[in-house]
Structure 1
Amino acid sequence: MELRNLKLDDFDASVDLSQYAFQYSLTAEQREEHRKSFKPEQVWGVFEQNELEAQLTVIPLEMHIQGRKYAMGGIAGVASWPEHRRRGNVAQLLRHVLLHMKENGISVSSLAPFSFGFYKKYGWELYVEYKQYTIETGLFPQRKEIEGKVSREAADIPLLSRLYEAYASRYNGTLHRSEEWWKNTLKNSKKGYTAVYYGQDGEAVGYILYEIKARVLHVHEMVFENEQARQALWTYLASHDSMVEKAVLKAPMDDTLPFLLSNPRIGQEIVSYFMARIVDTEAFVQQYAFAPTAQGTRLTIRLNDPNAPWNEGDWNLSVTADGKGTMEPVKLEEGAQPDLSCDINTWSALMMGYRSASELNRFGRLAGSPEAAEQLHAVIPQRQTYLMDFF
């Protein structure tokens, strides 16, 4: 058995496996387009006698966490031929890329699971949900006369990127989008129309990406800097009432749209979405923006992480009064117990801001005294998680 990066010559084997596992097919033309964009250095495979048995991709990305940009490894394209499954190939790949990410300065990873239970075994944990609204046209927000204008126009990536980054950085877990990412997004997953709201001063303060299919208005993204921008964009969408029967859109869990409607009885679904995992807790904590406190905080934390043993063991978490944190390994005296202990799944959900220390302690996921959990709770800023992308 050989575990290695793919090479250019492995392209056809990789595509054949992906088509089989994810049940799609490429035309000859599409296959050649994929060949041009193939990045073998991002794909890892398990080979037996030079035959590809399983593979996964690690996409180098950046993620917003507590107002800072983290290098993040996006796991995608995890696939195995059925005759080679349940041999531990994917487990070996996951453990290997965890070490690879750590060695390359990546301290956090995320993925879209085919099975939450499967990836929980390797330390990933649910970190983000979103609301999906289905709103009949008669229940749209009321039209309002708003100063400024909404303009339907060709996508201006620098302009959209500026608005998106300002919006995305308010959340934990959103992606920082490169120009290449924007181009792929607009070409593939969020193709359609772009409309931008310009305020009275002529400055852009919101946009929507949308398409209309079979009398349904699919809003891929709605980004706004203030409530006036949201109202203007909804007034624009309401002007499609003769063309569509309903709108479908996603929103973060802290979105307040139903409260703002005259009739809030719209379709709402909460969707469990991506999972995240801290790859290197020492590096992750060093970059983290903790909340300032009067005197600083010092706690001992015991982490359980058999798939990334460099995270395993007892640690001193120190947070200075101005919010700078360090995580240093410590050897406790015989018989001594840490202030708090948990597995890497729980630690990841906590540090991503998906669940608070107090909640996790109450649920039994974060062992230790409620007082110690409250101390930890006090230094982790409360910030909503969200993700507007897929990979």
Structure 2
Amino acid sequence: MEIRQLNMEEFDVSTQLSEYAFRYKLTAEEKEQRRQHFVPEQYWGLFDEAELQAKLTLLPFQVYVNGKVFDMGGIAGVATWPENRRKGHVAQLLKHALQEMKNQGQTLSFLHPFLVPFYRKYGWEVFAEYKRYFIQAHQLPPRVEYEGKIVRDVTDIATLDGLYQSFASRYNGTLVRDETWWKRSVLNGNGHTAVYYSSEGEPQGYVLYENKDKELICDEFVYLNENARRALLTYFANHPSEQFKMNMVPVDDELPFLLPEPRVKQELVPYFMARIVDLSAFIAQYPFEVNHSLDLVIQVEDSAASWNTGYWHLTVSEDGQGNIEPLSSGDKLTADISGDIQSITALFMGYKRPRELYLMERLAGNPLRATELDRVIPAGRTFFMDFF
């Protein structure tokens, strides 16, 4: 068996595997479009005597964590032929991808799971969820008179991205979008945009939506202040739709509180998974809370990335700088806190607090030390609006 990057001549066999594994069929035009965007070095395959047995895509991204940008490796397109399942091919590819990400300085990795328990075996953990609202027309908040204006079908990426980045950087895990991503993955459908401009002409919010027969479907609702939110809600209310479906809403959103009747249908959807690829490099970048110091020993288990496994001495200075050093396994060591890489990821991404994980028995050790750790981890919320 050999693991290597694909080459341009292997586009067709890679596409055949994707079509079979994910149960779709590309038209000739769609296949040619994908061929033009095919980046062979982002595709890794496991080969047996030159025959492709399994593959995955490793995409270079950046994401926000506590307002700071981290390099992230996105795993997508994991596929194998049915006769090869349960032979460990995907496991080999995932472990190889982790080593590649470590080599490239990608301290985090995200993926969208077909099955959460499968990827938990290799260190990924659910880190983000979103809400979905189903609001009937009569349940919308009353229309308001607002200063400024709303402009429909704005396609200027600089305007949209400026609003997106201001909104997204408030959360942990949101993607740093570049122009190519906006064109190919965000503004690639038949939907509409609408941007709210203040009376001074400053863009302060936008929506991405589809206007169907009886339903308006909003896929992104981004606003920088309450004026922008109320103006955009009024804009929606001016449509003759019977139902308004709002997707990808942050978990901390409080729209129901603003509704005359807050008992609207809501769904909470677990979404993407994350894992820390390189604990040492991640902690060196991580912005801790200032004015608190910390000194403790953490034990980490990571069956897929052995470089994370072991006892670690974690220190945090009062200026928020963290440092983590491995401790010799030959010493008689006692961990203040211990957990697997899944729990450690949920902790530092801000998805779960240390005390929560301790109460759920996902962290073990001294509960007082968990409280100390809680003080140095910023109180952020996770969110992810994209898909790959």
Moved more, 137-146 or 108-117: 137-146
Contact 1:137 1:247 in 2 (8 A): no
Report the equivalent of 1:192: 191
Q: Which amino acid aligns with 2:264?
A: I
Pairs within 5 Å for 1:264-283:
264-283=262-281
Structure 2 spans left out of the alignment, 5+ residues: none
Question: TM-score, normalization: structure 1?
Answer: 0.97
Contact 2:206 2:222 in 1 (8 A): yes
Report the equivalent of 1:171: 171
Q: Which amino acid aligns with 2:128?
A: V
Contact 1:185 1:191 in 2 (8 A): no
Report the equivalent of 1:372: 369
* Secondary structure of 2:282 counterpart: helix
Question: Are 1:103 and 2:103 matched, yes or no?
Answer: yes
Pairs within 5 Å for 1:314-325:
314-325=311-322
Question: Are 1:303 and 2:300 matched, yes or no?
Answer: yes
Structure 1 spans left out of the alignment, 5+ residues: none
Moved more, 137-146 or 93-102: 137-146
Report the equivalent of 2:333: 336
Contact 2:300 2:311 in 1 (8 A): yes
Q: Aligned equivalents of 1:126 and 1:214: distance in 2? A: 35
Deviation at residue 338 of structure 1 after TM alignment: 1.0
CA-to-aligned-CA distance 1:265-321 (integer Å, 9 cap, x gap) = 111000000000000000101111100134x11111010012101111011111000
Report the equivalent of 1:123: 123
CA-to-aligned-CA distance 1:352-384 (integer Å, 9 cap, x gap) = 100000111111111111100001100000111
* Secondary structure of 1:214 counterpart: coil
Contact 2:63 2:70 in 1 (8 A): yes
Question: Are 1:350 and 2:339 matched, yes or no?
Answer: no
Question: Are 1:236 and 2:235 matched, yes or no?
Answer: yes
Q: Which amino acid aligns with 2:221?
A: M
Deviation at residue 327 of structure 1 after TM alignment: 1.0
Q: Which amino acid aligns with 1:266?
A: V
Q: Which amino acid aligns with 1:254?
A: D
Q: Kindly report the root-mean-square deviation, in angstroms, between the aligned alpha carbons of the 2 structures.
A: 1.2
Q: Aligned equivalents of 2:231 and 2:205: distance in 1? A: 9
Q: Aligned equivalents of 1:145 and 1:357: distance in 2? A: 45
Q: Aligned equivalents of 2:190 and 2:14: distance in 1? A: 27
Q: 2:288 aligns with which of 284, 290, 295?
A: 290
Contact 1:65 1:171 in 2 (8 A): yes
* Secondary structure of 2:207 counterpart: strand
Q: Aligned equivalents of 2:194 and 2:261: distance in 1? A: 26
Q: Which amino acid aligns with 2:260?
A: S
Per the alignment, do residues 345 and 215 of structure 1 end up closer, same or farther by CA in structure 2, a change over 3 Å counting? Answer: same
Deviation at residue 334 of structure 1 after TM alignment: 4.6
CA-to-aligned-CA distance 1:187-211 (integer Å, 9 cap, x gap) = 43x5411100001111000000111
* Secondary structure of 2:113 counterpart: coil
Deviation at residue 244 of structure 1 after TM alignment: 4.0
Q: Which amino acid aligns with 1:283?
A: A
Contact 1:133 1:250 in 2 (8 A): no
Report the equivalent of 2:257: 259
Per the alignment, do residues 333 and 372 of structure 1 end up closer, same or farther by CA in structure 2, a change over 3 Å counting? Answer: farther
Contact 1:216 1:248 in 2 (8 A): no
Number of matched pairs: 388
CA-to-aligned-CA distance 1:49-81 (integer Å, 9 cap, x gap) = 211111000110001001001000010000000
